[in-house]
Amino acid sequence: MTDTDSSHSRRTGPHEVQFGALFGPGSQFHRFFNDPRWALAMVRATVLEAAHPQIGAALIDNSTFVAHPWRRLRNTFLSLQRMFGADDDARQREAARLNRLHARLSGADARNRPYDAMDPQVRAWVVATLFESTVTMCRLSGQPLEQTDMEQLYAEFQAFLAVLGDQAGHLPPTLREFWPYYDHMVETELENTEALRIILYKLFDHLPAPPLLDGLPTVWAAGRALAGPVIGAITVASLPEPFRRRAGLPEIPGAQTLMQSVYMAAGLARFLPEGWIEVESLAGLIYLSPDSDDPRAATITALRDRMKRAGALFRLVTPFPTQSGPEEGTGARRSAEEFFRTVLDQTGDGYLDWPDLAAMARELSSRLDLDEPEETRLYNAYAEWWRELQAALDIDGDGRISKEEYAAAVPSLAGPALIRVAEVLFEVTDADGNQYIDADEYRALFRTAFRRTVPGTEERYSRSAFVKDFLSFMSGRQRSTAYDPLLADA
């Protein structure tokens, strides 16, 4: 019997505890997945992960969480859903995908300390933060877990780590041994990293609008101005007190009371009828475009119209500065600076380098759910494009491209390597190999029907048309109803 069996017994002390299913509908994780409190727990866990020096450095160098936080959130939920779902084949494929992703993330931080996303101790800490934050979520909302439920949940997260292939021992074998391990990590290993500071003091205050509210900057700015500081305050208040002291995080008067009130209020969702809150549906709604063929799109369009009118009223009665949203329609050109910021600079650090193009390859591979060798082909095509860009645009030779270098050097990026990126993307999207992208294949990549985004293309999308449109977007800086949600949206 292995750690990934659907049910087993694990000795946690003098008594033998019988556990139910570790994955799927019978698991403790499944019980929490659609719980609104878990969004708070996820934010808290992310902060604790970012406070680990290796994870913080990897986030700064490679992650899109600053420029594209909603995309990263959606992908995280999708990954957890696959890992903890009932389909074992989907779980094994997702584990293999995560391992390939992590194997590509290594480097050194600002103090020249190495980091490696495949380090088993680091991966164990990620799982530990998810488990402990879920336990804390229940406690803060006045519904602490029973001991047996806590042990079951711990066994599930251990099984999650085992599916990734990590050997036993990187997480303590029993729940009783876990708490000293967790306290040691908090008191001695965590730091006030740059990634932690960005999450707490920049991300919440400058969170970009999700696709659903794109084009409604005034409405979004008003809501963010109220919600951003609250989320930051309750997150800091929920962190372990020893770490708050060591990191010098400010103690805001009333934050503890506010935090407990928010957790308690979110916990009331347990009284809602079953099925009212579904994470998958909510995530899909956040990303729903008015151009989608989803039946909910008409309602969303009407709601957006009303919100635009509310935004106009807000501009009359509030001091929020006027903010311009994206231009309406397709075909409008972006400035070089805007294109650099919204499309090329995926990590949001102000420069274009390999992690930005790797993030594009990662997002496309995730959308298409690619296996090997297609995933590697796409990464290799982007790597070749990066070498071409670096040779043409890196004027000062510092290994990265600034927006000034990009804007001044050339007006177009359509070299042979970018054409190859377009061809490889077509080939991996064309799953049946018939040299056309049909409706289902198009939906897998763009999450909408092509009759909405490519007028006149009712039945299929040819290789030449696809490559032409991709190059028009990437080199001509053309706005595109199809490609903007793919690479430019948050």
**CATH code of the domain covering residue 440:** 1.10.238.10
Do 248 and 370 belong to one domain?
no
Least confident window among 15-19, 66-70, 114-118, 291-295: 15-19
Distance, in Å, from the CA atom of 474 to the CA atom of 425, rounded to the nearest integer, reads 13
**Is there a single domain that holds both residue 130 and residue 278?**
yes
Q: For 112-119, which contacts have Cβ atoms below 8 Å and span 24 or more sequence positions? A: 113/53, 113/54, 113/57, 114/54, 115/53, 115/54, 115/55, 115/57, 115/58, 116/54, 117/58, 119/54
DSSP 276-341: S--HHHHHHHHT--TT--STTHHHHHHHHHHHHHHHHHHHHHS-PPP---PPSSSSPBPPHHHHII
Instruction: Report whether pLDDT(305) > 90.
Output: no
Range with the poorest average pLDDT among 107-121, 426-440, 446-460? 446-460
Domain boundary among 325, 352, 367: 325
What confidence score (pLDDT) does residue 37 get? Answer: 85
Same domain, 209 and 295: yes
Final residue belonging to a domain, choices 288, 304, 325: 325
Domain check: are 201 and 85 in the same one? yes
Under a CB-based contact definition with an 8 Å cutoff, are residues 13 and 174 in contact?
Answer: yes
Check residue 377 and give its pLDDT.
97
Which residue do the tokens 């959606």 mark? Answer: 74
Residue-number span of the structural domain to which 484 is assigned: 336-488
pLDDT at 245: 92
Question: Which residue is it, tokens 């450095």?
Answer: 57
CA distance 374 to 356: 20
Determine, yes or no, domain membership for 378: yes
Q: Tell me whether residue 330 is in a domain.
A: no
Residue 228 and residue 112 in one domain: yes
The candidate with the shortest Cα–Cα distance to 102, out of 81, 124, 87, is: 124
Arithmetic mean of pLDDT, 214-222:
74
Same domain, 373 and 320: no
Predicted confidence at residue 326, as pLDDT, reads 41
Of the chain, the percentage scoring pLDDT greater than 70 comes to: 78
The structure tokens listed for 409 are 């050097």
Same domain for 312 and 422, yes or no, is no
pLDDT tens digits for 307-320?
A: 556 555 545 555 54
CB 478 within 8 A of CB 451: no
User: Which of 133, 337, 87, 334 lies closest to 238 in space, CA to CA?
Assistant: 133
Residues 305 and 420 in one domain: no
pLDDT, tens only, 319-352: 544 444 444 344 567 788 888 998 999 999 999 9
Range name among 99-108, 397-406, 420-429, 469-478 with the lowest pLDDT average: 469-478
The answer to whether residue 445 sits within a structural domain is yes
Residue 369 falls inside a structural domain: yes
User: Distance (Å, rounded) from C-alpha 138 to C-alpha 41?
Assistant: 9
Of 5 and 431, more confident? 431
Residue 52 in any domain: the answer is yes
Say if residue 302 is in the same domain as residue 260: yes
316 in a domain, yes or no?
A: yes
pLDDT beyond 90 at 131? yes
- Average pLDDT value for the chain: 83
pLDDT at 169 over 80: no
Per-residue model confidence as pLDDT tens digits over 360-372 = 999 999 999 999 9
Output 252 or 303, whichever has higher pLDDT.
Answer: 252
Nearest residue to 485 (alpha-carbon basis) of 443, 451, 457, 455: 443
Q: How far is CA 65 from CA 2, 25, 207, 308, 482, in A?
A: 35, 30, 10, 27, 22
More confidently predicted of 6 and 458:
458
pLDDT at 450: 65
Percent of the chain residues past pLDDT 90, beyond the cut: 52
In a domain, 331, yes or no: no
Report the C-alpha gap between 410 and 200 in whole angstroms: 38
Same domain, 310 and 344: no
| Calpha distance 121→249 (Å, rounded) | 26
- Give φ, ψ of 113 to 5 degrees: -90, 130
Number of domains in the chain: 2
Say how far apart CA 249 and CA 120 lie, in whole Å: 29
Neighbour-count burial of 117, counting CB atoms closer than 10 A to its CB (0-12 exposed, 13-18 middle, 19+ buried): buried
How high is the pLDDT of residue 168? Answer: 55
73 vs 63: CA distance, rounded Å: 12
Establish how many alpha carbons lie within 13 A of residue 330's alpha carbon, considering only the half-sphere containing its beta carbon. 14
Q: Which tens digit of pLDDT belongs to each residue from 171-195?
A: 999 999 999 999 999 999 999 999 9
Residue where one domain finishes, among candidates 325, 345, 367 = 325
| pLDDT value for 310 | 57
Query: Which residue has tokens 């969480």?
Result: 65
Shared-domain flag, residues 317 and 345: no
Look at the block and give the residue holding tokens 């591979």. 365
pLDDT in tens, 149-167: 999 999 999 999 999 997 6
DSSP string, 75-90: HHHHHHHHHHSS-HHH
Residue 113: inside a domain = yes
Are 471 and 426 in contact, with CB atoms under 8 Å apart?
A: no
Contacts of 242 (CB under 8 A, 6+ apart): 183, 186, 187
Interatomic CA distance for residues 10 and 368, integer angstroms: 38
Reply yes or no on whether the pLDDT at 8 is more than 50: no
The verdict on 14 and 118 lying in the same domain is yes
